[in-house]
Amino acid sequence: MSTPELELNIPELEQLAANANPASALEMRKYHKVERPYLGLRNPDIDALVTEWRGALDVPARVVLADALWQSNIHEARVAAAKLLTQARLRPDDEAAWQLIASWTPDFDSWAIADHACIAAQKRLVADPSRLDTLEGWISSDHLWTRRAALVATLPWTKMAHPKAADLAIRDRILGWCATLAPDHRWFIQKAIGWWLRDLSKHDPERTLAFLEAQGDTLKPFAAKEATRLMKAS
* Angstrom distance (rounded) from CA 228 to CA 44: 33
d(CA 189, CA 204): 21
Q: 166 φ, ψ to 5°?
A: -65, -35
Predicted model pTM:
0.92
Q: Is 20 helix (H, G, I), strand (E, B) or coil?
A: coil
Phi, psi of 225 (to 5 degrees): -65, -45
Residues 185 and 30: their CA atoms lie apart, in Å, by: 26
The structural domains of the chain, ordered by start, are 1-153 (1.25.10.90), 158-234 (no CATH)
Per-residue pLDDT of the chain (234 residues; tens, 9 = 90+): 334 345 567 899 999 999 999 999 999 999 999 999 999 999 999 999 999 999 999 999 999 999 999 999 999 999 999 999 999 888 888 899 999 999 999 999 999 999 999 999 999 999 999 999 999 999 999 999 999 999 999 999 999 999 999 999 999 999 999 999 999 999 999 999 999 999 999 999 999 999 999 999 999 999 999 999 988 655
